[in-house]
Amino acid sequence: MQNAIPMVEIIRGDRVESIHHGHAVICNGAGQIVRAWGDPGAIIYPRSSCKMIQALPLMESGAGAALSDAQVALACASHQGAAVHTQWVSRWLADMDLSEADLRCGAHEPYDADARNSLVLAHEKPCQIHNNCSGKHTGFLMMTKAMKAGPEYTEIDHPLQKAILQATQEVTGEVSPGFGIDGCSAPNHACTIHGLARAMAAFAVATADGDARARAMHRLTHAMHAHPDLVAGEGRACTELMRAVTAPVALKTGAEGVYTGILPSLGLGIAVKTADGNARAAEAMITGVLIHLGLLDAHHPAAQKRLGGPQRNWRGLTTGHIRLADGLI
C-alpha cells in the first residue's frame, strides 16, 4: 500500500519493536477533509467497517421500520457469537418464518469463550448463527423478503446487492472500482479512505427529521451507540470505546486493520486503515483520534488498554506500551 505513514509504534522495554504504517481521514458533513494522514485516495476494502452502509437499503426502504434498536444494531454488528447475540438472531429469523439454513454467511466457532466452551462440552458444532455477521445477514434476508427476490442474496447481481452498491457509491461520493468477497460471502465494494470517511460523516450529520436516507442513517447510528454490547461484545474495542466516550459515537471495526467512526456531536466521520492489516494498530489510532477530538479521556481504562497504558505478559509483568508515532497528532 503506497504512501502509508508511520502510525503506531509497539514499545518493548525501551525500544521500538514494531512500527505499523497506515492512513486515516477525518471528514466533515460537507465531505471535506478536516485532517488526513497518509494517502486519502488510497483504495481499500472497507470490510465490516461499512456494515451500516450495507444496512441502509433495509432501513431507507422502510422494510426495517418495525425493528427494535437491538435488531438494527445487530444488522451492523461483528458480534462475538455470545448467547445474547445468537438468541437475538434466532428470534429475528423465527419472526420471519426463516431458519439458520436460509443464511448464506457460513459457520465458524463463536468468538465468545463461554459460547465456544458450551458447544464443545455439548459435543455440538457451531452453525451460521454463530457467525459474527449473522445479524447483518438476517437483515439482508429481511430486505430480500421485502424485495420478493431470490434466496441467493449474496450474489453480486442480486437486487439486494445492487441496492447496496448504489447506496455505497452515493454515500462515499465515488464510483467503486470493484469488489471483493468478504469472509461472510457478501460482496465488499472498494472505495477510497476519503470516501469511507465521507460516508461516515454523512451518517454523523443525519437527523431524525430529514429525508428517508437521513432518517435511516440516524436510526442506524443511534442503534449502534445505544447497544454497544450487540455491535461487538465484551472485551472488544468497539463496545468498550463506545461505552467510554463522553458523547454518543458509533464505532465499527473491519478485518485487515480498518476502523470507522461516526461522531454526531462533532458532525465528523473517521476512517482508518493500517497498511499491514494489524487490528491492534487500527484500534490504537481510532483511540488516539477520539482522545484528540476531546471525546475520550486518555486515562480511561478502555483508552489505556489500547493506547499508552502498560502492556503485560501472562504473568502480569509490564513489557512495554503502544503509542502513536511521534508528531502524528
| 10 in Cβ contact with 24 (< 8 Å) | no
Contacts of 108 (CB under 8 A, 6+ apart): 126, 130, 131, 132
Residue pLDDT, tens place only, 157-167: 999 999 999 99
Domain 5-324 CATH (choose: 1.10.10, 3.40.50, 3.10.110, 3.40.710): 3.40.710
User: What is the DSSP secondary-structure string of 52-94?
Assistant: HHHTHHHHHTSTTTT--HHHHHHHT------HHHHHHHHHHHH
Mean pLDDT, residues 300-315 taken together: 97
The pTM score is: 0.97
pLDDT band for position 2 (cuts 50, 70, 90)? confident
Question: Domain limits of the chain?
Answer: 5-324
What average pLDDT does the chain have? 98
At residue 24, does pLDDT exceed 70? yes
Residue pLDDT, tens place only, 199-255: 999 999 999 999 999 999 999 999 999 999 999 999 999 999 999 999 999 999 999
* The pLDDT value given to residue 53: 98
Residue identified by cell 511521534 is 326
* The pLDDT value given to residue 30: 97
Q: Where do the H-state alpha helices sit in 122-256?
A: 134-147, 159-172, 193-205, 212-226, 228-231, 237-244
* The pLDDT value given to residue 19: 98
Residues 88, 278: Cα–Cα separation, whole Å: 30
Mean pLDDT, residues 273-289 taken together: 98
Question: What does the DSSP 8-state code read for residue 325?
Answer: P
User: What is the DSSP secondary-structure string of 103-145?
Assistant: --S-----SSHHHHHHHHHTT----GGGSTTHHHHHHHHHHHH
> H or E stretch including 320?
strand 318-324
Q: Which of 154, 145, 129 is nearest to 64 (CA)?
A: 145
> H or E stretch including 12?
strand 5-12
* The pLDDT value given to residue 1: 66
Residues 275, 281: Cα–Cα separation, whole Å: 10
Q: Give the sign of the dihedral formed by CA 32, CA 37, CA 42, CA 45.
A: negative
At residue 284, does pLDDT exceed 80? yes
Residue pLDDT, tens place only, 45-102: 999 999 999 999 999 999 999 999 999 999 999 999 999 999 999 999 999 999 999 9
